Amino acid sequence: MSPLTKTQALDRHALVMAIWLALGLVAVMLFDYGSDGGGWIATLSAFGAVLAAFIGHIIVNAVYDTGFSRRELALGLVIYAGALVACGLAALLVPGFGARNFLPLSLGFGGLFAAVVFYMITHFGVRRSFEAFDVIGDFGTDGPDRNSRQERR
């Protein structure tokens, strides 16, 4: 994985934006339609569009020989968490929303999470994927243990 030149980084960024622009809009439309009464197929299709964009992003990463940038990871996590909270609040506050959408939303969010985990395991391996989230293991490891862990990585 060699560092990208300034031009390549911009090319990659613009391509990623183009993919999310198009598929994101389709996902928003389907999600809105699904939550308004379009049914679970529309909601699941919305998650399918997000998944397609995610796969497109991974393909772009493979073409440019890069991974997800820190900003992309942060943005993805914030949007995912925000969407979860928003759906939770809507289920609590909007009458009938939870009854109509709980199952497809759960499946969708769960599916996205599974896709991310699958990608991480196939891309990094089980051990490195687990260590990426192993916050507890980092507590109190300022000494030699932490250094040896870093070396292992």
Chain residues binding another protein by CB under 8 A are: 6-7, 9-11, 13-15, 17-19, 21-23, 25-26, 28-29, 32-33, 36, 38
For 26, 77, 147, the CA distances from 73, given in Å and listed in that order, are 22, 6, 25
CB of 26 to another protein, least distance (A): 5
Task: Rank residues 33 and 97 by Cβ distance to another protein and give the closer one.
Answer: 33
Shortest Å, Cβ 63 to another protein? 9
**How near is the Cβ of 32 to another protein at its closest, in Å?**
5
Radius of gyration of the chain (CA): 19
Minimum distance from residue 39 beta carbon to another protein (Å): 10
Of residues 83 and 120, the one with the C-beta less far from another protein? 83
* Percentages of the chain per state (helix, strand, coil), in multiples of 5: 85, 0, 15
Under a CB-based contact definition with an 8 Å cutoff, are residues 57 and 73 in contact?
no
Q: Encoding tokens for residue 103?
A: 């199952």
Question: How many angstroms separate the CA atoms of 138 and 131, rounded?
Answer: 9
We find the least distance from the C-beta atom of residue 11 to another protein, in angstroms, to be: 4
Taken in order 31, 87, 92, 114, the sign of the CA dihedral is: positive
> Are 49 and 27 within 8 A, CB to CB?
yes
